[in-house]
Chain A
Amino acid sequence: MAETDLISDYLTALRGSLRWRADVDDLVSEADDHLRSAAERARADGLDAQAAQRHVIDRFGDAALVARAFALAPSGGIAMPTPFTRMTGTIALVGAAAWLITAPIVVLRADYLSEDWEPLYFTVAILMFVGATCTTLTYAGLLSRTGGARDVLAILAIGTAALGTLFLAVVTWAWIVGVGLLTVAALIPVLRLRDAGAAPRAARVLMVAAWPVAILSAIALDALQVGPVDSYGDYFLAQLIGLAVGCVLFGIALIGTGRWLRSELPARVPAAAAV
């Protein structure tokens, strides 16, 4: 019976955990050389092939642990805190403020049935534009922090978020489309943060869950016929309450990620010593 190549299995797992890295081939090659060299030494010391492979893999460390160490250490100029990533932490907090201010305005001043609705509508449009712009920049910071913001998926995420921002600014009343695009765009940075074990877990979850919860709330309240009906026959207050829920939840997510981005000082040169 053919022997199982445990090292190949391990390297496959490691590659999977490091798949976002632009330098993944180099990292896996280096681990491959280490493990094969160590296994040859272990065999020379008397272990059989399988035992030697198990021994060196055990010494190298769990693939997820090693991938996490790589994810939070610089390599090839990426995946480390920089002045830019720290600045995006501040931008995230500004964005959080914009979303959180929007929430009470859309609900408590929901006098859209009056003839004087335009100033309020445009106030909300500007606030949401500011919030979404800051959100897009925050995504760029999170992507830069976890492996780079210049690969195809990262550019796609930032582009989608920018499109959502534009949509919210131009057709604010159709906010569901805009926040939907922001949520789709959030998936890439959030998945990378999860792989790196970085940023508070609650903030990561809220970043992708906030707007779906908001949209479901709006649909549920609409079905329950909450509030008055506007000239289009819509229960507009139901939609606005859903929007406010999303603003609060997403604002909290941005506070969590913003505080995390700000908490990391940019890597110094020469680097500070750390394992």
Chain B
Amino acid sequence: MKGQALKGHLDLLVLSVLAQGPCHGYGVIEQLRARSGDAFDLPEGTVYPALHRLEQAGLLESEWSEDSGRRRRTYRLSESGRGALVTERSAWEEFSDAVSAVLSGVPWPRPT
């Protein structure tokens, strides 16, 4: 699935990964890939602006540490982020159910 298809959903996905516990950027991306069965394929570097945007919005918090001689930034969900995740998840499930309901009434076209 290309990045364009993820447009509008990445924030929800990142929040849901970090709801499992604090994680650095690489770990977030690894979990996104693993939990989607490798379906989410977008330039990994473009996930970081999303992390920064969510932090700027107060939904994430981050702190720096040293690990194996490298600086590492770890993100965690803030209280506001937990609230936003509940709201966004509810909105997504409502949308997803509605789309499924529409599609379920339409037979799959036969391949030509």
Contacts and interface: CB of A to CB of B under 8 A. Distances in A.
A31 B59 CA distance: 21
B8 A273 contact: yes
A8 interface: no
B48 interface: yes
Given A33-B73, A61-B46, A273 B11 contact: yes
B61 to A, nearest CB: 14
Interface size class of A (residues with CB under 8 A): 20 to 34
Interface string B6-50: 111111100000000000111001000000000000111110111
A74 interface: yes
Contacts of B56: 74-77, 80, 267, 269, 271
A33 B52 contact: no
A60 B48 CA distance: 10
Interface string A62-82: 100110011011111100100
B84 A270 contact: yes
Interface stretch (A34-42, A119-127, A250-258): A34-42
Contacts of B9: 273
A102 to B, nearest CB: 41
A271 B54 CA distance: 7
B10 A275 contact: yes
A58 to B, nearest CB: 9
B80 A270 contact: yes
Contacts of B72: 33
A273 B45 CA distance: 17
B110 interface: no
Nearest to A40: B68
A69 B58 contact: no
Interface stretch (A22-30, A141-149, A171-179): A22-30
Contacts of B44: 34, 38, 59-61
A66 B59 contact: no
Contact of B26 (A26, A38, A274): A38
A80 B4 CA distance: 21
Contacts of A195: none
B26 A34 contact: yes
Contact of A36 (B7, B29, B49, B70): B70
Given A31-B48, A269-B57, 18 more contacts: A30-B25, A30-B71, A33-B24, A34-B24, A34-B48, A59-B44, A61-B43, A61-B44, A61-B46, A62-B43, A69-B48, A69-B49, A70-B52, A80-B56, A269-B56, A271-B53, A273-B88, A275-B10
